[in-house]
Amino acid sequence: MVDARGYSCPTPVILVQKAVKSGAPAMLEVAVDNWCSVENVTRFAQNAGYTVSVEDFEGDFKLTLTK
């Protein structure tokens, strides 16, 4: 789980990039708290070969990245 709440871009993308590079997980959950981070993490993840699903918890978002 990457908890990137409280960070503005590009920090959430960098945190996810480090998590992907450290082990290329088949599934990774990411928590963010702004729509810009949702869009940027989604773009990065899709370019890295992941499918992304997004859940909205009243302003907090959970992204599930799966290969």
CATH at 26: 3.30.110.40
Give me the number of domains the chain comprises: 1
Dist CA 38 CA 31 (whole Å):
9
Q: What is the pLDDT of residue 23?
A: 86
Strands 51-57 and 2-3: unpaired
- What the block records as the tokens of 2 is 């990457």
Q: What is the pLDDT of residue 53?
A: 98
Pick the closest to residue 44 from 8, 5, 9 (CA basis): 9
pTM over 0.95: no
* Structural domain containing residue 49: 2-66
Burial class for 12, CB neighbours closer than 10 Å (0-12, 13-18, 19+):
buried
Contacts of 43 (CB under 8 A, 6+ apart): none
pLDDT, tens digit only, all 67 positions of the chain: 999 999 999 999 999 999 999 988 999 999 999 999 999 999 999 999 999 999 999 989 999 999 9
